[in-house]
Amino acid sequence: MPVITSPQEFNTDDLYVDLRPVLGTALHLKCEGFNFAGSVKLKAAAAMVAAAERSGVLRAGSVLVESSSGNLGVALAMIAADRGYRFLCVTDARCNVGTRRLMEAMGAEVHTVDRPDEQGGYLGARLRYVRERCASDARYVWLNQYTNPYNALAHQHTTAPAIARQFPDLDVLFVGAGTTGTLMGCARFFRQWTRPVTVVAVDAAGSVTFGGPPRTRMIPGLGAGVRPPQLDHSLVDDVVIVPEPETVRTCHQLAAAGFLFGGSTGTVVAGARRWLAAHRSGAPGTAVAISPDLGERYLDTIYQESWVRNVYGDAPYEEGTEGSDAPAEDGYGAPSQDAYGPADTCTLGAGSAAR
């Protein structure tokens, strides 16, 4: 039994669920939620913090600040508490109440942006607030998950090699697309691997990452209002877009079998099942999907019937019905392309990260 002194030292990286008995689909699910941060974002958070410390940007007295819809914020709150930093998470209304409380329990300050920017997007407003705080106080350090190369490198060095060791005959890998750090890290690893692997990105309907029109997305995690700066489309072999009602329906199906996963996981599994049915029904080969998170933080949303019906109507409860992806009003539109900040600001602190 391992003995640890820091919470980030514990992370189960070798747990897979065979989903064939649940879904009737030959698919293995790599579970990334079994750590004290509860999600795959622990890897990126730890890598970004370590890089900032090595460079001297992050030091005693620094205040971490980051824009996050939830999981990365929790991971940074945990690491900041362990390493003695203050942490400010800038989020919006999509962030689950339980997630905000979890960050606050670990000493983080959570600022919820309640008004969109001039383009109608909350992400742009979140990033503007981050820049303002950095400009106002030299102690603030913005790691900038959207452009930070260590976001992807963390998965190129850990997640993808772990999958390759467990499944040396891997044929297809399904990865959710948010900031695209996990997607790009895994895709780069398998592009150079000893055998060809089809890398399929799974995105949420309403995301513009792969060219779709922007629409409101109510489930945090996957999707983006503007093309993520880290995305290299040439490394992606195929893309599956999943409507949110289908995400909810898949989460409920997994929960009915005793597996309580989060919204991002429901999206990835739904996309994987759809792609495999269309492409590999005769010879499925070896397929793996990455599960970013667990489901406890979604008990008041996707696992709460009143919330689901208020947002999506009956669609998630009717098999084969897509329904509306989201409420009609788009509250999470696209910020301007430069809102994320240039890639070379990823570990700069204070005003330099904000300019």
Active-site residue set: 41, 264
Radius of gyration of the chain (CA): 19
Which alpha helices (DSSP H) does the chain contain, by range?
20-23, 41-55, 71-83, 97-105, 122-136, 149-154, 160-166, 181-191, 244-256, 263-279, 305-312, 350-354
3-state secondary structure of 81: helix
Closest of 77, 133, 67, 142 to residue 332, by C-alpha = 67
